[in-house]
Amino acid sequence: MGVSGTGKSTLGALLATALHAPFLEGDTFHAPASVAKMERGLPLTDDDRWPWLDRLGTALGAAAREHGAAVAACSALRRAYRERLAAAAGVPLRFAFLDTERDEIARRMRARSGHYMPPSLLDSQLATLERPGPDEPALRLDAGQAPERLYEDVRMWLETVVA
């Protein structure tokens, strides 16, 4: 989880491969109208997000029940969004929170191509972000680290929380 440009998809794909689990790219669960809205530089509202979170959570739960585990990349910016995902999934969720400096995220967003999320929406995402509290099942990671290092940190954390 984290704002756009922090490396959620890269880390998620690494985790899914290592766990032999399905990987769900949260972006593909957005309604076409929501994608078009973001492409125009307009931030989503909660009314846009709720059905998206329900679709992704339902698919995540189904994949986890079928395969024993599943991995998703999703912004999950607010506690309420994380709770909605978990309720829709119907299985325990763990969140790897990718966080780093705004300038680094902006640099990454400007450097990538083919993504509908323009860098102009970064500040609205950061304004929406509620970093996970100590009572949430989340691990904060420095998104400036190499993906392989992040993967190792998550793997070790999961071994302690799932065991």
Contact, 150 vs 11, CB < 8 A? yes
Q: Among 51-65, 108-122, 134-148, which is the least confidently predicted range? A: 108-122
* Structure-block tokens of residue 118: 């323009």
Range 92-116 average pLDDT: 79
Confidence of residue 104 (pLDDT cuts 50, 70, 90): confident
Give a three-class secondary structure readout of 76-101. Answer: CCCHHHHHHHHHHHCCCCCEEEEECC
Q: Which domains does the chain have, with CATH numbers?
A: 8-158 (3.40.50.300)
Cα dihedral 148, 152, 155, 157 sign: negative
Say if CB 116 and CB 84 are below 8 A apart. no
Residue 94 neighbours by CB distance under 10 Å: 15
pLDDT category of residue 112 using cuts at 50, 70 and 90 = low
pLDDT: which is higher, 112 or 10: 10
